[in-house]
Chains A and B, each alone.
Chain A
Amino acid sequence: MIKEIKSIDDVLAHIEEIHKSMEFNEELFPIVTDLFLFLKDMIPILSEANISVKESTSHLPTATDNLNSVTQTTELATNEVLDKIEHMSSQLNALKSLIRENKESDKQLSIVEDVENKANEIIFAFQFQDITTQQLEHTNRILTAVYDKFLSLFESFEVMRSRSSIGAEVAMAIENEFKKELERHKEEMESFQKRTEDIIHQNHEFSQEDIDNFFK
């Protein structure tokens, strides 16, 4: 009687049972063995792929949120600092006039105190650096975990390829299909490449001097 299948282990146990029941057919045996070996490798990979995709899909929005938050926090803090510096600059101009005219010493003192307060507020605004660093570190941990998951998936795929001839053939077939898909969706792939392109292009080997040389 076929046992109820509730988990991957049940599937594998079921495959093993079928495998054993076919051992007496000498001609079929090597083919079936190869097929069962392939199925045994393939089922956990499919299960793992399912988990990897689900986990990555659930965590990547957090990474995106973190990056958006970093952008917002940085922008807010930068604007805050710039506002305060502009205020300080205008106050210092007013102070300069008062000192030149040598009048209103009380007002001069109050301007100095105001500038001092603004300077202190600027110091505190720089806390954004610590906050954004932690958000970026979290994003980095998420992306590294997703990368590791997929890397281990690809490694399992390679094991499947080496353990059975059917596995090798299926791996080859999947790769061929992938190449065909790439060709078929070339435009989409190019768009993906474009969307994920690094627009900053920070190439530290290319100096300002190198750029200036192009203009000579």
Chain B
Amino acid sequence: MDDKKVIFVEDSPTMRRIIMNSLNKIGISQVVEAENGVDALEKIGDQDFDMVITDWNMPEMNGEELVKELRGSSKYKDTPILMITTRGMQDDVMTAIKMGVNGYIVKPFTPEVLKKKMSEIFSAS
């Protein structure tokens, strides 16, 4: 996975450090971080990313709004999206699937789970 370029969107600075740490350990060095959906869209711009990892509950633009925005664009309609969130209810997972996310991880998670989920998504895409 070392050739992949990933953007992750997370409002908690602690979580950003944790995710950045684990992505580096997985071997992904091309990582861009964003604080919320608005920040993510600005940073995505015209760049190409192999995966978007996003939290759900965030200020300004949450994960749900971001996913809808990306799925509505021609460039990102098929880009793999992995959601990492504290929302662990069945309804939340169903909503996420309907939005078009490719994977869903409930916090707290382990680096092994993140690696496994990312590998599965990359293999399927």
Contact = CB atoms under 8 A, between A and B. Distances in A.
Contacts of A147: none
B14 A124 contact: no
A133 B25 CA distance: 26
Interface in B83-125: 86, 107-111
A100 to B, nearest CB: 31
B30 interface: no
B86 A131 contact: yes
Contact of B57 (A120, A125, A134): A134
Contact of A129 (B12, B21, B109): B12
A123 B18 contact: yes
B1 to A, nearest CB: 18
B106 to A, nearest CB: 10
Contacts of B31: none
B59 to A, nearest CB: 10
B48 to A, nearest CB: 29
A127 interface: yes
Nearest to B57: A134
A127 B25 contact: no
B18 A124 contact: yes
A126 interface: yes
A126 B14 contact: yes
A128 B17 CA distance: 13
A141 B39 CA distance: 25
Contact of A130 (B22, B25, B86, B111): B86
Interface residues of A, number: 12
Interface residues of B, number: 15
A126 B21 CA distance: 12
Contact of B21 (A123, A125, A131): A123
A120 B111 contact: yes
Given A120-B111, A124-B108, A130 B21 contact: no
Contacts of A128: 108
A134 B108 CA distance: 13
B25 A129 contact: no
A120 B114 CA distance: 14
A122 to B, nearest CB: 10
Given A120-B111, A134-B86, A127 B18 contact: yes
A130 B111 CA distance: 16
A126 B111 CA distance: 13
Contacts of A134: 57, 86
A129 B14 contact: yes
Nearest to A128: B108
Nearest to A121: B110
B110 A130 contact: no
Contacts of A120: 21, 25, 111
Nearest to A126: B14
Contact of A131 (B17, B25, B107, B111): B107
Contacts of B14: 126-127, 129-130
10 contacts: A120-B25, A124-B18, A124-B109, A127-B18, A127-B107, A127-B108, A129-B15, A130-B107, A133-B12, A134-B86
Interface of A: 120, 123-131, 133-134
